Amino acid sequence: MRLLQFTTQTLALLLLAACGAPQQPVGETSQASASSADGLDRTVLPIPEPDVPSITELDARNAKAPARFDVKPPEGAPNVLVVLIDDIGFGHSSAFGGPIQMPTLEKLAANGLKYNRFHTTALCSPTRTALLTGYNHHSNNAGAIMEVATAFPGNTGVRPGSITPMAEVLRLNGYSTAAFGKYHETPPWEASVSGPYDRWPTGSGFDKFYGFIGGETNQWHPMVYDGVTRVYPPVDNPGYHFTNDMTDQALAWMNTQQSLTPDKPFMMYFATGATHAPHHAPKEYVAKYKGKFAQGWDKVREETLARQKQLGVVPANTTLAPKPADIKDWDKLTADEKRLFERQMEVFAGFAEHTDAQVGRLIDALEERGELENTLIFYIVGDNGSSAEGGMIGMYNENTYFNGVQETLDMQLSRIEELGTEHTYNHFAAGWAVAGNTPFTWTKQVASNFGGTRNGMVMHWPKGIKAKGEVRSQFHHVIDVAPTVYAATGLPAPRLVNGIEQRPIEGVAMNYCFDDPKAADARKTQYFEMIGNRAIYHDGWYAGTIHKAPWEAAPRRPLTEDVWELYNVNEDFSQANDLAAKEPAKLEELKKKFMEEAVKYHVLPIDDRSIERLDPAIAGRPDLMNGKTKLVLYPGAKGIPENAFINIKNTSLKYTAEVEMPAKASGVILCQGGDFGGWSFYMMDGILHYTYNWVGLEFFTVKSTKPIAPGKHTLVLDFAYDGGRGAGGMATLLVDGEKAGEGRIEKTNANTFGIDESADVGTDENTPVVLAYKKRETFTGRIQKVTVETFPAAPKK
């Protein structure tokens, strides 16, 4: 039997080779030999349990049990901690010369290594899936964020079975695994209780998950899951903040795991929602930065570059690349603009320092338990460059951006003292994003400039890295993390997982430069692409094109007419000297190289649409509703993500609720969204209401003209839409077939109600759509069912 097992396994590997499975590049240390020191073939996962001979002894007292088969990691394998901060730039943190104090990052850097040429993909989901697998984002079918997936290979939003996440590889090799915080790798049509859960964290290698599934969350009122179950943190407790909460959960898990199995290594992925918008920060941290940014973003850029040179994280000859032409000079702003923008940055800085403090709690716990010495830590300061999605003046409600609504300066000034609190969903002005990406020009989304893709990274592993407090300038990418982990743990990247042949890993290990600062770069080539912004790095040269800025509504020109830039980045760290006119042959060579890589990794065709891809019908991706125009909801249906609910935007619709009510009934019958945009069909003191909360800016309410008597009733909201996108319409309320109220809803959300809000029957979870019924959300009657129907808008006369 043992011989048969060996023969079958060997035959599988021989078949892979015969089919042309590519061999690993020479020197790629993530590939271990097929047989490890303990004799296990770890290239095939799960590792098969060996057969044992049949037992012929009748009495168990006279027989000897075979040794228990137990897969353990290689002897001495380190713990692995991957820390990922969201939407923070190369020039933000004090460790990389920025104005924001991040002492935990500095502490780890002083006893480890800073990488100053480490790169991401320019956007959230793509970076995360590349980080956790070791494969390019298009190979993972994550060409952009999950919410804008399309039907094309490279962009479907579904990780292929031929790519197995690093956490699953470690788990199947005997590690305990856990993830805390932001995930943002689950296809939106799989993010409800209907599943499947294969691409949730616990279906992707993590034994434990506590955090949020989407791209962002309200730090004061987060939409949290424990595993696949929606949970409700104590948000009413004084001082509650999600980053604190996720840290508490991470510490509890680690402490328990270490208490029970101290000899078993763990892998933890600690991915904060900070510092992605909304910029929610404890007041005491914001107060630390009062007056620290009065000099403005232009001066902050100059000061940051000077510190970067002093720290040696940029070459001494680095020049400050020009900021985008749309970003105003600070000295030309009005007094009101300066007052607002200064406050925005104070809030962001407090947000970032608070985040680093929570990472510090993890590091302190590792040190207290004697685990820091043999824990391989990656502290990655940003999943992309700092975000300019706040536009030219920022916003107090980010939901306006996603719905194409422009906030005014006066709107924001009226909320200036509330920035960072639960009463805002704020983002800062693009000028601060550019300053945060010093010394580069561009920002998040711009994959064709280092401002969008270069992020500081600190690696700390006292047992495995002799060098301390040094800078490494080898060119690397986020796909190189997984191979580095495999090399450090002594594990191979698998060849076969659950019977599925695995693609050769696309990252290269960074271990070669741990103790050799002058080692030649192992990575010679890397493509970049995000929503049309695209570039190629090859042997010290970099060619890229700015197809669309984050604050621009449309691409600058057709893809075929894009203007490319060329930089010798071995000599020009900040991409300040465009050589396209001087080196046309080199530019053409690199443009050809980009196309080769684009074909190889499923980058083509390039889709440069952005917000309109939020609509599944336009994008061509699956939709849980599958084109339904009718949905019947029952009591208990709540916490339904927007992407799993019937689309009621930009259409006529009808809600029909079969209910039984007491006198003066109150509470929500059906709602969707929250504080910063949504709608609610509800009762208040016996009066039927329908309120539309237009992106937190305006409220439109229609209510019945008289109270509704106790008993069984059929309640209807009929909305006749005007047509177009984000338009208004006439709302009519009916009680048992009789008109009970009527009024205009002048504006509606065109694209979304909020990434971290939900649709709910009989209550209003997370933040309330209507503040007036806060703490009174639960319906006091009984709901039999609620039917939602949508209809095409009537043609305009």
Specify the residue for token string 């993890």. Answer: 362
Return the SS3 of 699. strand
**What number is the average pLDDT over the span 552-580?**
97
What pLDDT shows up at residue 553? 87
422-480 pLDDT tens trace? 999 999 999 999 999 999 999 999 999 999 999 999 999 999 999 999 999 999 999 99
564-568 and 541-545: which strand pairing? antiparallel
Please, which contacts does 685-692 make with residues 24 or more away whose CB atoms are closer than 8 Å? 688/715, 688/733, 688/735, 688/740, 688/741, 689/770, 690/717, 690/731, 690/733, 691/769, 691/770, 692/731, 692/745, 692/747, 692/748
Q: What single letter denotes the amino acid at residue 246?
A: M
**What number is the average pLDDT over the span 686-711?**
97
Q: How many helices (H) and strands (E) does the chain have?
A: 15, 31
Which residue from 385, 477, 365, 469 is spatially nearest to 432, judged by alpha carbons?
A: 385
Confidence band for 34, pLDDT divided at 50, 70 and 90: low
- What's the mean pLDDT when you consider all of the chain? 94
677-684 and 782-791: which strand pairing? unpaired
**What number is the average pLDDT over the span 556-576?**
98
Q: Looking at the whole model, is its pTM more than 0.75?
A: yes
What pLDDT shows up at residue 647? 92
Confidence band for 626, pLDDT divided at 50, 70 and 90: confident
Return the SS3 of 537. strand
Specify the residue for token string 């009519």. Answer: 732
Q: Judge contact between 744 and 730, C-beta under 8 A.
A: yes
Distance of CA 167 to the CA centre of its chain: 17
Paired tokens of 402: 């996603």
DSSP state, residue 295: T
Is the pLDDT confidence value at 1 over 50? no
Q: What single letter denotes the amino acid at residue 449?
A: N
Q: What single letter denotes the amino acid at residue 636?
A: G
Is the pLDDT confidence value at 754 over 70? yes
List CB contacts of 49: < 8 A, sequence separation 6 or more: 69
What pLDDT shows up at residue 32? 45
What pLDDT shows up at residue 12? 37
Confidence band for 38, pLDDT divided at 50, 70 and 90: confident
Confidence band for 614, pLDDT divided at 50, 70 and 90: confident
Is the pLDDT confidence value at 235 over 90? yes
Max distance between CA atoms of the chain, in angstroms, equals 93
Return the SS3 of 34. coil
Strand positions, DSSP E, 8-73: 44-45
**Sign of CA pseudo-dihedral 167, 170, 171, 175:** negative
Kindly report the backbone phi and psi dihedral angles of residue 81, in degrees, each rounded to the nearest multiple of 5, phi listed first.
Answer: -125, 115
Q: Cis (ω within 30 of 0) for the bond into 46? A: yes
Is the pLDDT confidence value at 158 over 80? yes
The angle formed by the CA atoms of residues 318, 319 and 320, to the nearest 5 degrees, is 125
Q: Cis (ω within 30 of 0) for the bond into 792? A: no
